[in-house]
Structure 1
Amino acid sequence: MEYIAGLSADQSRTVDELGYPDHFFISFDPVSSDRVERWTYFSRGKAVDFDNGRLWGEEPIEDNAAEYPPTDLRPQDFNATLSEAEATRLLGEPLYTQEVQDSLLPENTIIVYAKAILLYREGKLIGVDTQVRPPSLPAS
């Protein structure tokens, strides 16, 4: 097995065995910087969970590949220090941005791209989700 830059030993082993995930969700704790990930493999019918890079568990899932085509993004491209400008360079121009000021999610910004949804709190990345439907644009 070859270690992949930006991935842990468990994650590198998973990529070696299963390939890169069809989709992934990453959550960063803004206080502790803990990183929790779920990698989804629709074709294999399973999701693999990691806690700070360590394999945490697996569970069966339904194959939703027809609804959510596989992403070409990689989990190692995202870290808690990824700025909004860097995200735009990686993902292209955002389709939609929403500042959230309510009491449940103070100082949060949701940014929707064609390939991912990113959540920032006070300028720090706290969430990445690549399981997004391709946008449907209104007919002209």
Structure 2
Amino acid sequence: MTLDPKTDLTLTRTINAPRALLWECWTTPEHIKNFFVPRPHVIEACEIDLRVGGKFNTTMNVDGHRMENVGVFLDVVDGERLVFTDTYSEGWKPAPDPFMTAIVEFADDGKGGTTYTATARHRSSEARQSHEDMGFYEGWGTVATQLEAYAQSLK
């Protein structure tokens, strides 16, 4: 995948947990609730239909405000890659104001851990900049740290 610095943001980390466990965390609603948003924010609900065209819906509580995010999976490569977007909801219904497409990739690091890459692709440079200004690197970095701690608690 060729990244476009005008519209894409990406974060890569080595996470000290096996790839299969991180995949399980990312594809199971009960696990998503434990790492998907930076604390003290929480995921109140999560629905996953893990297939291309299947739903990926979350309800976040951010400082007492409920935020519903609906989306679909565009690509699912078992144990390796998830691609999801809020451009569509289930049934390929277009969203009135989409924000991004996310690509989450998992690769063995050769030492028992996982190279974890999260990429956010945006429809414009302005949307990309807005996401960076909102704290993409800090927020997605915190999520990666929370994912690692949560996955290690499951070992």
Q: Which has the higher helix share?
A: 2
The verdict on a shared fold, with TM-score over 0.5 as the criterion, is: no
Higher RCO, Cα 8 Å, sep 6+: 2
Larger CA Rg, structure 1 vs 2: 1
Q: What is the TM-score when the length of structure 1 is the normalising length? A: 0.29
